[in-house]
C-alpha cells in the first residue's frame, strides 16, 4: 500500500496532457502510462477503461472551464473594472492550465459528443454561467455605460480573443515577432484585448459607424 491518491492523480494529470494534445481517439493508453511513469495496467485498475478515463478527465475540464467564467466577477463596480477583471482572470486560468482548454477545443473539433451531458448542468446553474456575463452587459447597456450590443456575440468575441492565441500558440510563435517571451506576450495580450474591446463598447464618439 504505497499510495493510492498520488498514483491516481499522476494518471489523471498525464491523461489530461495526452488527451489535450492528441484528442480522445489519438491518445494512446501506453503514452499516458509512460507520461505518468507507471504501468499501463494501473490505468485500468484506477479508471476501468479508456472511455471512463476520458470521461473523468473531461468532467474535470468542463468544471474548470466553467469555473473560469465565474472568477473575479464580483467586487467590480464599473463595467470597465469588470471587463478587465474578467479578461485578466480568464487568461490567467488559461495560462496556468493550458491543457484544460486545449482538451476542450479538441472535444469540439471531434464533434463534441461529450459536451451534451455536462453542459446542461451549467445552463441551469445561473451562477458562474455565461448568463452572468450577459446580465452585466445588459445592465451596462441600460445604464448607458456602453453601446447597445448583442451580449452573446460580445462574450464570444472576448472568449475567442482570450483562448485562440493559446490554441494556436505554435503558429503564433512562428509568425509573431514578440511571442518568443511567452509570459510577456500573454501580459501584453491582456492589455490589448481589454483596450480594443473596451473602446469598441464605448458609446459612439465623434466618429460615426459606417453602415
Query: Given the rule CB under 7 A, which residues bind DNA?
Result: 1-4, 6-7, 27-30, 38-42, 44-45, 48-51
- Closer to a copy of itself at the Cβ: 46 or 154? 154
Q: Where are the alpha helices (H) located in the chain, listed in sequence order?
A: 5-26, 29-36, 40-47, 50-70, 79-96, 98-109, 115-124, 130-143, 151-167, 169-175, 182-201
**Nearest Cα to Cα of residue 76 among 88, 64, 92:** 88
153's contact among a copy of itself, DNA, none, with CB below 5 to 8 A by partner kind, is a copy of itself
Q: From the CB of 23, what's the least distance to DNA, in Å?
A: 11
- Closer to DNA at the Cβ: 4 or 124? 4
Q: From the CB of 52, what's the least distance to a copy of itself, in Å?
A: 19
Q: Which one among 143, 168, 181, 184 touches a copy of itself, defined by CB under 8 A?
A: 168
Q: From the CB of 6, what's the least distance to DNA, in Å?
A: 7
Q: Using only C-alpha atoms, what is the Rg of the chain?
A: 20
* DSSP codes joined into one string, 105-153: HHHHHTT-TTHHHHHHHHHH--TTSHHHHHHHHHHHHHHTSS----HHH
Range 122-151, binding a copy of itself (CB under 8 A): 123, 130, 147, 149-150
125's contact among DNA, a copy of itself, none, with CB below 5 to 8 A by partner kind, is none
- Closer to DNA at the Cβ: 49 or 78? 49
The C-alpha atoms of residue 121 and residue 119 are separated, in whole angstroms, by: 5
- Closer to a copy of itself at the Cβ: 6 or 116? 116
The C-alpha atoms of residue 29 and residue 33 are separated, in whole angstroms, by: 6
The C-alpha atoms of residue 83 and residue 46 are separated, in whole angstroms, by: 42
The C-alpha atoms of residue 201 and residue 196 are separated, in whole angstroms, by: 9
Q: Which one among 7, 8, 13, 21 touches a copy of itself, defined by CB under 8 A?
A: 21
Range 77-106, binding a copy of itself (CB under 8 A): 78, 80, 102, 104-106
Amino acid at each position: 500500500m504505497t499510495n493510492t491518491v498520488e498514483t491516481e492523480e499522476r494518471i489523471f494529470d498525464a491523461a489530461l496532457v495526452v488527451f489535450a494534445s492528441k484528442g480522445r481517439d489519438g491518445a494512446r493508453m501506453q503514452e499516458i502510462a509512460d507520461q505518468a511513469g507507471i504501468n499501463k495496467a494501473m490505468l485500468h485498475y484506477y479508471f476501468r477503461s479508456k472511455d471512463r478515463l476520458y470521461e473523468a478527465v473531461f468532467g474535470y475540464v468542463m468544471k474548470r472551464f466553467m469555473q473560469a467564467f465565474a472568477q473575479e466577477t464580483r467586487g467590480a463596480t464599473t463595467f470597465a473594472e469588470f471587463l478587465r477583471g474578467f479578461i485578466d482572470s480568464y487568461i490567467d486560468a488559461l495560462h496556468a492550465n493550458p491543457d484544460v482548454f486545449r482538451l476542450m477545443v479538441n472535444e469540439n473539433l471531434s464533434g463534441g459528443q461529450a459536451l451534451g451531458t455536462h453542459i446542461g448542468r451549467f445552463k441551469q446553474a445561473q451562477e458562474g454561467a455565461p448568463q452572468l456575463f450577459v446580465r452585466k452587459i445588459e445592465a451596462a447597456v441600460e445604464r448607458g455605460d456602453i453601446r447597445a450590443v448583442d451580449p452573446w456575440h460580445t462574450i464570444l468575441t472576448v472568449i475567442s480573443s482570450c483562448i485562440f492565441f493559446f490554441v494556436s500558440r505554435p503558429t503564433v510563435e512562428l509568425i509573431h515577432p514578440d511571442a518568443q517571451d511567452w509570459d510577456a506576450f500573454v501580459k501584453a495580450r491582456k492589455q490589448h484585448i481589454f483596450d480594443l474591446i473596451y473602446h469598441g463598447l464605448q458609446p459612439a464618439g465623434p466618429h460615426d459607424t459606417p453602415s
